[in-house]
Amino acid sequence: MSIAKIVEKTAHNPAIRYRIKDRGFIREGFYADLVLVDTKTPTVVSNENSLYHCGWSPFSGHSFSAQIKHTWVNGDLVYANQQVDGKTASGMRLQFDV
């Protein structure tokens, strides 16, 4: 699946379908929720590298063909170098156009 198709299915379409205000697109005035993916670095999920609070993952043992490098929420870097920045409280309630 192409990067453009992944973005369409995981960002654009949900924002359109659920009428989420100022989300789902990279546009001036929109909130910057972004994920930087390295498509050339495979990742094998294990319970040891899982960041879930429960300490396990349903994907344990599964190999993905890419790796998430960075994540931004509302323009703030919240994940980098396989570490979550616990100091940053960047999340906010979604607004819907109804």
Q: Write the burial class of residue 24 (CB in 10 Å: 0-12 exposed, 13-18 middle, 19+ buried).
A: buried
**Ranges of each domain in the chain:** 1-26, 32-89
Contact 78, 69 (CB under 8 A): no
State pTM to two decimals.
0.79
The CATH class, in words, for 32-89 is mainly beta
pLDDT at residue 88 in the model = 63
- Three-state DSSP class for residue 16: helix
Backbone angles phi, psi at 38, to 5 degrees: -95, 105
Which pLDDT tens digit goes with each residue over 17-65?
999 999 999 999 999 899 999 999 999 999 998 888 898 999 999 999 9
76 pLDDT above the threshold of 80? yes
pLDDT at residue 29 in the model = 93
